[in-house]
Structure 1
Amino acid sequence: MEELSMDRSETTCVEAILRDELARGNRALSGVAPVISHLLENSGHALVSDAIVARLRGMLSDVARQLLGAGLAPHLRGQVNEDAADQLSAALAGNSSVLNHLYALAMEGHLTERLEQRSSLDPVLSPLLQELIASDRPNVAEIAMNALAAQSRFMQGQRRMNLPVGELPADLFLQALECFRKAPLNLNPAQVSSGVSALKARYDEGVGRLGLFARLIGSMRGGAVVALELNHSGLALFVSAMAALTRQPRDLAILACHQRQAARLALSLRAAGLDARAIERQFVLIEPDEMLPTGIADLRAERAQELLAASDVSPSFHYDAA
């Protein structure tokens, strides 16, 4: 009985430490949107580097220009009003859900490049994606091929600091359109209405990069856990699998791979079913200097999931939680 009591006491202590670390990480995440809103002009936040701010500026401007150009004739789409583009970019930056998503994408691009430089992980074609392309299930092979092309476009877009508006998740796509409608741009209402209609007609979430990776993970069913070996799956499949297996927004799974988020990463991997040794392998790749949280090996996967679900993180990161 005394031994059982000791085990419970140790488990409670481990959970308290993890909850505290998770709370600190969540406080850092909750400050991302307001900090970025101000620091698009400056720098200095631990989670916001100059490179990330530059990518954010580029993506915001690119999305704004696409929205403005959607209602114009094709030969006029490169001639959008610069003042209107700046105003719409600022309006999009004022939407914390849109801003947090673009921040997560910028972080994903940055981390993917860092993994390529530091660990020689291919940023586009991972071994697991190769295996899925070679699948004897034609539908899976087709999705994997499309995902490969989408990932290649994403990495090119990150280097150019742009993002196709059709790559936004459905909720954020609609929020971006609402920003376009409501921003005081002094545009012809017919041009705005025409642009919104044209964008809606072309939009298909399932053929976007995020939709394709989600479909791939779904096609793997119980075997999706193999995507949690980062050096085999690549970052894009890795975070998609971690999000699906732990029922978290994908953006949070991306941000769990950044410094100061060790508790969220460890709890996520434990909740997804990895043991301590497998978790440590991912830490070595993602953040070699980060220590694995104490006691993670003794935590049940179900309890790790409960701790994640109970953590209080910025609501704007939960736009796609359903």
Structure 2
Amino acid sequence: MGEDTIDHADGGKLEAILQEELARESRALGSVVPVLRHLLASDGQRLVSDAVLARVRGMLSDLAAQVLAVSAGRDPALRGPEDDATSRQRDALVDRLAADSALLAFCHGLATEGLLAERLNRQHAIDPVLSPLLQELIASQQPEVAELAMNALAAQSRFIQSQRRMELPIGELPAELFHAVIAMQNGTDSDATGFARLQQGYDEAAGRLGLLARLVSAMRRGAIAALALDHAGLALFASALSVLARQPRHHAVLSCHEGQSGRLALGLRAAGLGADAIERQLLLTEPNARMATEIPVISSDRARHLLAADQVA
């Protein structure tokens, strides 16, 4: 905030350090999808008590169950009972879903978000559903903002419940993933009418991520207030960071994970925050994080450039 001047000698040295740190963090993030795919395909995964892995497998299984329900002419929300044949079909479809890197990365991001929200609630009493900022937005004098905030609250409540049940409603997928998932079964020996009805009822903007993005947009310049994690809550914080730092939302979520402090600090700088504000956020996510006070030596534009040049899956 007003700290966009750079000492080129110090700035160049810090950029080199940041690029090295981002490369290290990217290697860690880039290994996630291949490792997940290996574990999901392995019989040994049953012995792995990893919460993220369990949630990803649960979400893929739930998506498969919904697709098969539509194939059979049923409401996907009801999933339906399974016999041995249906169970085998579901397992086969899960394997095909797990082969989609984009879908696997998306599910990993959701699982990470759900677990981070629980951790932040446990460690810092940050409510995973109703944050102070969301309460303020619900009370807004602008009817469209208040309505968006109420809808986002309901969607976030459903998300937390779904995560605890390891479920993922198919309508919560981004458009490209939604169409890719139903294409895996549509056109086989299935109910074409059911898939047509599902597609007609799909509205990306009405899903949780769509509502959060619209709410951040409706806040306009006030969206900077959502970059206070304890005030905004993780869901709104991640959406605002995504918009203001111009990075994919799941990257914003993953930057809040342990070991990704360099990415988070750089994202916050790209969004326009100064040293004190960046340090406050890092204290919530990773108290031992390095380089928080040095980040503002980099301009916001340069921080965005560094992030864009270091995109990971």
Fold conserved between structures, TM > 0.5: yes
Distance in 1 (CA, whole Å) between partners of 2:155 and 2:166 is 16
- Report what 2:3 is aligned to: none
1:130 aligns with 2:135: yes
What CA RMSD, in Å, does the superposition of the two structures yield over aligned residues? 1.9
Q: Could you give the per-residue CA deviations for residues 44-73 of structure 1, whole angstroms, max 9, x where no partner exists?
A: xxxx97000000111000010001101334
1:3 matched to which residue of 2? none
- What corresponds to 1:167 in structure 2? 172
SS at match of 2:185: helix
Distance 2:171 2:224 in 1: 29
Per the alignment, residue 317 of structure 1 pairs with: none
Q: Measured at CA, do residues 27 and 163 of structure 1 come closer, stay the same or move farther in structure 2, by a change above 3 Å? A: same
Is residue 58 of structure 2 the alignment partner of residue 58 of structure 1? yes
Shift of residue 293 of structure 1? 4.7
Q: How does 1:134-173 map to 2 (within 5 A)?
A: 134-173=139-178
Q: 2:310 matched to which residue of 1?
A: 311
Q: Contact 2:62–2:168 (CA<8 Å) still a contact in 1?
A: yes
**Cα distance in structure 2, aligned partners of 1:15 and 1:38:** 35
Q: Deviations over 1:212-250 (max 9, x none)?
A: 000000001111111000110000000000000111110
Shift of 1:101: 0.2
Gaps of 5+ in 2: 1-5
Equivalent residues of 1:14, 1:294 under 8 A apart? no
Q: Does the Cα contact within 8 Å between 1:229 and 1:282 map onto a contact in 2?
A: yes
Question: What is the alpha-carbon distance in structure 2 between the residues aligned to residue 73 and residue 67 of structure 1?
Answer: 10
Residue equivalent to 2:17: 17
CA distance in 2, matches of 1:144, 1:312: 30
Cα distance in 1 for partners of 2:152, 2:8 equals 45
Aligned to 1:258: 257
What residue identity is the alignment partner of 1:153? R
Alpha-carbon distance between aligned partners in 2 of 1:104 and 1:53, rounded to the nearest angstrom? 11
TM-score under structure 1 length normalisation: 0.88
Correspondence 1:77-226 to 2 at 5 A: 77-80=79-82, 81-181=86-186, 188=189, 190-191=190-191, 193-226=192-225
**Does residue 77 of structure 2 align to residue 72 of structure 1?**
no
Q: Hey, what does 1:320 align to over in structure 2?
A: none
Q: Give TM-score scaled by structure 2 length.
A: 0.91
Q: Tell me the alpha carbon deviations over residues 129-172 of structure 1, each in whole angstroms, 9 at most, x when there is no partner.
A: 00110011111111111110100000000110001000001111
Instruction: After superposing the two structures, state which structure 1 stretch, 104-113 or 305-314, moved more.
Output: 305-314
* Structure 1, unaligned runs of 5 or more: 1-5, 315-322
SS at match of 1:161: coil
TM superposition shift of 1:292: 3.6
The answer as to whether partners of 1:71 and 1:194 remain within 8 angstroms in 2 is no
Q: Which one-letter code corresponds to 1:50 in the other structure?
A: D
| Letter aligned with residue 55 of structure 1 | R
In the aligned structure 2, how far is the partner of 1:267 from the partner of 1:166? 32
Identity %: 53
After superposition, the Cα gap between the structure-2 partners of 1:73 and 1:180, relative to the gap in structure 1 and judged at 3 Å, is closer
Residue 7 of structure 1: aligned partner: 7
